[in-house]
Amino acid sequence: MNLGGKRALVTGGAGFIGSHLSAHLLETGTEVVVADDYSNGRDEWIPDGAERIEGDLTDREVVADAVGSDVDLVFHLAARKDPNDQDPRGQFSENTTMTHLLLEESLAAGVEGFAFASSSTVYGEAPRPTPEDHAPLEPISVYGAGKLGEEGLVSTYAHSHGLPAWTFRFANVVGPRLRGAVVPDFVEKLVDDPERLTILGDGRQEKSYVHVTDCVDAMCHVVERAEEENPDRPMHTYNLGTWTTTSVDRIADVVCDVLGVDPDYEYTGGDRGWTGDVPRMRLSIDKLDALGWEPTLESDEAVRRVAREVADEIASETSL
């Protein structure tokens, strides 16, 4: 499917990944409609040229208005995500409701395809590297359980209702505008106190990190190529990540090097940062590689680049 000339709805398009995807789509010649409630995003992050629809995507009228704005494709990235969420049932309900409503309205509107942002958390603590056909899928967090449930909904609409679909299981995505994750957390802590750095867990947690520019490029590559490679499949599931991993201790070292500081490390203990954290994750990207795509930055390079980007952003914000 050639994205050029298409009209795409990007839910969560004012957020971290969604705003970068919106900009990337516009560069390919795709018209973009952003739907967002701004709970995790900012209006100024939406690129020039994109249309805006503000509203709660658990509201059917808002969803119908967004999907019914003459779009050809839906990229669904909007989600409530908080590993320490005090309302896990609410998080699960809101995310699955959004996805179900978007699928219903997409089918009714006759859109050409539905792209869903899932997560590596659907695998739980799986052998590494983890391929897309790994089974069973055993998430260990409510967020991961919700993503697995949403994947099931997408699969149902693809197989039983003929709605072509692409599902992306992300590794840890990093880049400008990222907050609430390990790299910006370390940058913010060290800007505040360059003498001491508190690290959740034991620092040995080790995962893949993919830069957001690679992530959105891979998403578009799959949408354009997967159906051509596998024309008989209504649903295409791909891991998006890198070939390598980086430990939390290594991230701390990289961030300290970028900022030019040498703090004492203090650990909260345990083998994971929070309940539901998967301490070690590396996705197989062999399937993505076979489709002709590979990352331009490996995990360490992505971490170093985002450390500089986030440090520059924080410096800019504090100078205002």
pLDDT at 84: 63
Provide the pLDDT for residue 118. 98
Structure tokens at 122: 């659907």
* DSSP codes, 202-244: TS--EE-EEEHHHHHHHHHHHHHHHHHH-TT-SEEEEEE--S-
**Cβ-contact 34, 14 below 8 angstroms:** yes
pLDDT at 317 over 70: yes
CA-to-CA distance for 57 and 45, rounded, in angstroms? 19
What tens digit of pLDDT does each residue of 28-77 get?
999 999 999 999 999 999 999 999 999 999 999 999 999 999 999 999 99
Short-list 151, 145, 134, CA closest to 287: 134
From 155, 23, 147, select the one nearest 80 (Cα to Cα): 147
The ranges assigned to domains in the chain are 7-172+210-240, 176-208+244-283+297-318
For residue 281, what are the β-bridge partners? 207
The Cα angle at residue 285 between residues 281 and 287, in degrees rounded to 5? 140
Does position 92 have pLDDT exceeding 80, yes or no?
yes
d(CA 57, CA 64): 9
Token pair, residue 227, equals 């159906």
Contact between 32 and 13 under an 8 Å Cβ cutoff? The reply is yes
pLDDT at 320 over 80: no
Average pLDDT over residues 227-250: 93
Residue 85: its pLDDT value, please?
A: 67
| Residues linked to residue 240 through DSSP beta bridges, in sequence order | 170
User: Hey, what CATH topology would domain 7-172+210-240 get?
Assistant: Rossmann fold (3.40.50)
pTM metric for this prediction = 0.95
Predicted confidence (pLDDT) per residue in 168-211, tens digit: 999 999 999 998 899 999 999 999 999 999 999 999 999 999 99
Show which residues are catalytic: 143
What stretch of H or E contains 81?
A: none
What CATH code would you report for 176-208+244-283+297-318? 3.90.25.10
* Arithmetic mean of pLDDT over the chain: 95
Helix (H) or strand (E) holding 34: strand 31-36
